[in-house]
Amino acid sequence: MELGQSAGFLGGGSGDYRDPAISPDGAPTTTAQLSDEQRAQHRALVAEWNDKLEGTSAEGIMDWAATHVSGKIAVTMSMQDTILAELAEGRLLNAELVFLDTGYHFDETIETRDKVAERYHLPLTNVRPVLSREEQDETYGPRLYSRNPSACCRMRKVEPLARMLNPYEAWVTGIRRVDNPLRATTPILDVDRTGRLKINPIAAWSDEDVENYITDHKLIINPLTAQGYPSIGCATCTLPVAEGDDPRSGRWAGTNKTECGLHT
């Protein structure tokens, strides 16, 4: 059971709050489907290239994307590090960096985002939820993130990303197979539920690969990564992790939630 679910969805017991299963009015919650033709093209690319790209460097995978994706590409950035921005810069000329600004991030994460905007030439878009934190508290009750983190992630991450993805043909993620067992079989290329191409250029990277790339390219890093936060999400839902523990065990600690829903 996730934190707070036993308390139902009523904030403070007043009974006046909206059911968090119902998203805010006035904004789509899903991404438009691509045409059958585009979906078929992407499936053909995956079938032809997934195995071939398995042993290809992340730079090579980005070069492949530049050649094979003619539409716009969204590069998702958690602002934990800037590996994807570094890989995309100068390679994906039709790309845009995308940051899900939930309103609950650590100050260090926001500062990292601002440094990314200064260092890289690719445009950076802040994707925001329909409701501000205050509006969410008024509508769904205070601390929805602790009472029903799945609903909070859905409204502040999953649905904003879904709206944002509409103009894009493909998106790039920083998912790695070593992140957790759910990600252990992540392919380099995939087709998402809307027919868009999903590109995971560092899927095969180990922790050592990440550290080496950051050092070799003198990347901006979120200072929290050196303060016991190997996996950084919202400040309200991320705890530091003891050395040697599962790096993602600080995310939604004390609940059975392990993913925000962006990749499931």
How are the residues of the chain apportioned to helix, strand and coil, as percentages rounded to the nearest 5?
40, 10, 50
Based on the shown chain and the rule CB under 6 A, indicate whether residue 233 belongs to the binding site for ligand SF4: yes
Q: Which two tokens stand for residue 170?
A: 């493909």
**172 assigned to a ligand binding site:** no
Q: Output the smallest distance, CB 12 to ligand SF4, in A.
A: 18
Q: What angle do CA 218, 223, 228 make, to 5 degrees?
A: 120
Q: Which is nearer to ligand SF4, 42 or 157 (CB)?
A: 157
**Distance between CA atoms of 62 and 67, rounded to whole angstroms?**
9
Q: End-to-end alpha-carbon separation of the chain, Å?
A: 18
Q: Does residue 39 have an active-site annotation?
A: no
104 closest CA partner among 237, 261, 2, 263: 237
**Distance between CA atoms of 14 and 141, rounded to whole angstroms?**
9
Q: Which of 9, 99, 104, 106 binds ligand SF4 (CB under 6 A)?
A: 104
Which residues lie closer than 8 Å to 133 by C-beta, 6 or more apart? 103, 104
Based on the shown chain and the rule CB under 6 A, indicate whether residue 230 belongs to the binding site for ligand SF4: no
Q: Is the dihedral of CA 6, 229, 243, 175 positive or negative?
A: positive
Q: Output the smallest distance, CB 136 to ligand SF4, in A.
A: 9
Q: Which of 46, 62, 202, 260 binds ligand SF4 (CB under 6 A)?
A: 260
Q: How far is CA 204 from the centre of its chain?
A: 17
Q: Which of 3, 237, 241, 250 binds ligand SF4 (CB under 6 A)?
A: 237
Site for ligand SF4 in 134-163 (CB under 6 A): 145, 149, 152-153, 156-157
**Distance between CA atoms of 96 and 75, rounded to whole angstroms?**
6
Q: Which of 234, 241, 248, 250 binds ligand SF4 (CB under 6 A)?
A: 234
Q: Output the smallest distance, CB 227 to ligand SF4, in A.
A: 19
Q: Which is nearer to ligand SF4, 136 or 225 (CB)?
A: 136
**237 assigned to a ligand binding site:** yes
**Which of 74, 123, 260, 262 is an active site residue?**
260
Site for ligand SF4 in 175-214 (CB under 6 A): none
Positions that interact with ligand SF4 (CB under 6 A): 102, 104, 145, 149, 152-153, 156-157, 233-234, 236-237, 260
Catalytic center residues: 260
